[in-house]
Structure 1
């Protein structure tokens, strides 16, 4: 099994901007929290979070397919490859496991919450579910975030959407 350090090295090899690297780490943190909640393998889930966008900068039009190919060529476990593919709804990979549902659920939401934190005093502690819901209604805020994916993740989430936020 590859290590977190190897996942970080792969992220840094293919991703040059701090913003996308930080996004990978934010998604990792969310994935690890959910792995603990579901009593799942925290390392596997965390690495899916780190790697889900590692090919995006170099191959935006072929993302995440190029990343999946790289992972397979390097012998990464198929569970990680499938998780990376599952975060993007257009791949057609079914969200049929908790890991696949979770990577989809946290990807757009972590980016949105980060944007909210920048508005609310640059601290995550200032970002409440109420503030997130309010900002979700503002179409001019964080335009790059796919709100439909966030809404779908709320519908698919097994629990309270406020807890998810």
Structure 2
């Protein structure tokens, strides 16, 4: 029987493999974004699961960057974790490191928002407020079009993700920005406790 993780167990697993505050902040951001989308898309009863998928999506990245989305499957299978969790977290590496395709709406959202949260986060740090709360879509659009800005955030992946989700790029940007606004304050408080 495969095991379901609660939030506390998921955090313990994440921090066993990740210590870098940048990675922990990103994990929490994607967790918050996934929880927001779950609620918005009518998966209210699965909010916690969507959040845990977001929290653990980069489980292996800090320690095994060359085996990203591959090593995480092994780590989770050794612990006999739910195959849905394993498939969902690994699928955001589709076409990059693995051939596990995002199938469920949750997996498509993760694929679409993962890189985008990085880009939006980088854009927020350039603002006087260092926050997404006062960021406007037009300033995000400008940063997005500047290929030198947050160059590590793949525009191609973001665009493929928007298409998978049946959204225009602007809809994806706006919804992800709203999602990040919804969890920014609580993430900042959590990060102060580390």
Same fold (TM over 0.5): yes
Match in the other structure for 1:65: 70
**1:50-102 deviation digits (Å, cap 9, x = unpaired):** 10111111111111111111111112111111111111123111221101101
Match in the other structure for 1:44: 49
1:124 aligns with 2:124: no
> Bigger shift: 74-83 or 121-130?
121-130
**1:96-129 deviation digits (Å, cap 9, x = unpaired):** 1101101101100111110010012201112222
What TM-score do you get using the length of structure 1 for normalisation?
0.94
Name segments (4+ residues, structure 1) moved above 6 Å.
none
1:155 aligns with 2:160: no
> Bigger shift: 87-96 or 46-55?
87-96
Match in the other structure for 1:139: 147
Paired residues of 1:113 and 1:127 also in contact (CA < 8 A): no
Number of residue pairs the alignment of both structures matches: 165
Match in the other structure for 1:5: 8
How many Å apart are 1:162 and its aligned residue?
4.4
1:94 aligns with 2:101: yes
What TM-score do you get using the length of structure 2 for normalisation?
0.81
SS in structure 2 at match of 1:27: helix
SS in structure 2 at match of 1:125: coil
1:18 aligns with 2:26: no
Paired residues of 2:92 and 2:110 also in contact (CA < 8 A): yes
SS in structure 2 at match of 1:124: coil
CA distance in 2, matches of 1:162, 1:20: 21
CA pair 103-161 structure 1, distance change in 2 beyond 3 A? closer
CA distance in 2, matches of 1:162, 1:24: 19
CA distance in 2, matches of 1:39, 1:76: 25
